[in-house]
Amino acid sequence: MTSNTNPIITASGKIADGIYHVDVQAHAVKKIVSTFILETPDAVVILDTGTSDDIHHILRFMRKQCIPLQKVTCLVASHFHFDHFGGAWKLWAMLKEYNPDIKVVTTQKTRDQLQDPALHMERAARTFGEMIGEMHPLPDEAYEIIDPDARIPVPGLPEGQELVLVSSPGHTEDHCSPAVLEDGHARFIYAAEAAGTLFNSSKLVTFGTSMPPEYNTEAYIQSLRKIIDLKPELIGYCHFGVVKGRQATKEVLDENLEYTYFFREFVKMHFEESGSVRHVVEVYLQEEAPKRSDIVANDFLAKILVALVYGQLIDLGLKDPK
């Protein structure tokens, strides 16, 4: 594909009217973690924050784009993981100086996880070492609790559009995918980790998101089909970037559905023949990763794959959670 026809966007910037993509340069590496910003004439909504080490990239981007900090009315969580919303406590406190009424809008299930992050951070440190930042509970006043699939009020959205916290469990039990809906279709959906990960800058090929201990294949597939039915015009990924255009979004979503079945069988087959997580990862890095990733170094990808394989094995009943 040429740059003029490539539907994959990896650069930070405006991706549609009122929608921005931000590379938060997680772990001091580009093209690993994305967050998104929605702007209307009356409000700004930030979808996920990255870690506490990443939020300065969001603030810098907003200043560069002349997005007023005092317009930020809420931070919206896709789920509780450190790389998605670990920096919320810090960003909320900083933005509260500009807008005292700013809220963290999320479900009760996500709120409960955010308020008790110790075990999650312990598990994350096993995979990523010291690159996870700090994660602290927020004060009760920070939260506005809504139901999954509920509408999030955003002043100034164009008539006929609404921001909805689309319930999409599977990656985690609390996972949601904020979407700007219009006439039953998604103008934009931040799939986060409900539609795989995209570590390729030119080909619509995905990885899975089977992080332990909550990953559930059946729930994941149901959520993915739900997103497919929304026929999105734009898909935002946490890992990484954007896919633009309904033909491309359908292609990448269908590909991830096929990949979900493939990866499950791949892990099962290679683990049963070896009994080793490391063996499964090494075979994958040799046979599959070169076809699927062109923006992530293999040493970092190996860390992610250990977790993804382990999550599959737990869901298959071949391993117990640690």
Domain harbouring 215, CATH code:
3.60.15.10
pLDDT at 2: 35
DSSP 57-107: HHHHHHHHTT--GGGEEEEE-S-S-HHHHTTHHHHHHHHHTT-TT-EEEE-
On whether residue 274 sits in a domain, the answer given is no
pLDDT at 258: 98
Residue 296 makes CB contacts below 8 A (sequence gap 6+) with 31, 32, 199
Q: Are 121 and 82 in contact (CB under 8 A)?
A: yes
pLDDT at 103: 98
Q: Are 82 and 132 in contact (CB under 8 A)?
A: yes
pLDDT at 4: 58
On whether residue 281 sits in a domain, the answer given is no
Residues recorded for the chain: 322
pLDDT at 3: 44
Q: Among residues 52, 54, 97, 106, which one has the least CA distance to residue 72?
A: 97
Rounded Cα–Cα distance for residues 36 and 48 (Å):
7
Q: What are phi and psi of 36, to 5 degrees?
A: -135, 150
Total domains, the chain: 1
Q: Are 224 and 209 in contact (CB under 8 A)?
A: no
Could you report how far apart the first and last alpha carbons of the chain are, in Å? 43
Per-residue pLDDT of the chain (322 residues; tens, 9 = 90+): 334 589 999 999 999 999 999 999 987 788 999 999 999 999 999 999 999 999 999 999 999 999 999 999 999 999 999 999 999 999 999 999 999 999 999 999 999 999 999 988 888 888 777 777 899 999 999 999 999 999 999 999 999 999 999 999 999 999 999 999 999 999 999 999 999 999 999 999 999 999 999 999 999 999 999 999 999 999 999 999 999 999 999 999 999 999 999 999 999 999 999 999 999 999 999 999 999 999 877 788 898 999 999 999 999 999 998 7
Q: Is 317 helix (H, G, I), strand (E, B) or coil?
A: coil
Rounded Cα–Cα distance for residues 22 and 272 (Å):
41
pTM of the predicted structure, to 2 decimals: 0.95
On whether residue 139 sits in a domain, the answer given is yes
Strands (E), the chain: 8-9, 13-16, 19-23, 34-39, 44-47, 72-76, 103-106, 143-145, 151-152, 161-167, 176-182, 185-192, 234-237, 241-244
On whether residue 294 sits in a domain, the answer given is no
On whether residue 113 sits in a domain, the answer given is yes
Parent domain of 215: 8-260
Q: Are 34 and 46 in contact (CB under 8 A)?
A: no
pLDDT at 5: 85
On whether residue 287 sits in a domain, the answer given is no
On whether residue 18 sits in a domain, the answer given is yes
Residue 93 makes CB contacts below 8 A (sequence gap 6+) with none
Token pair of 319, please?
């391993």
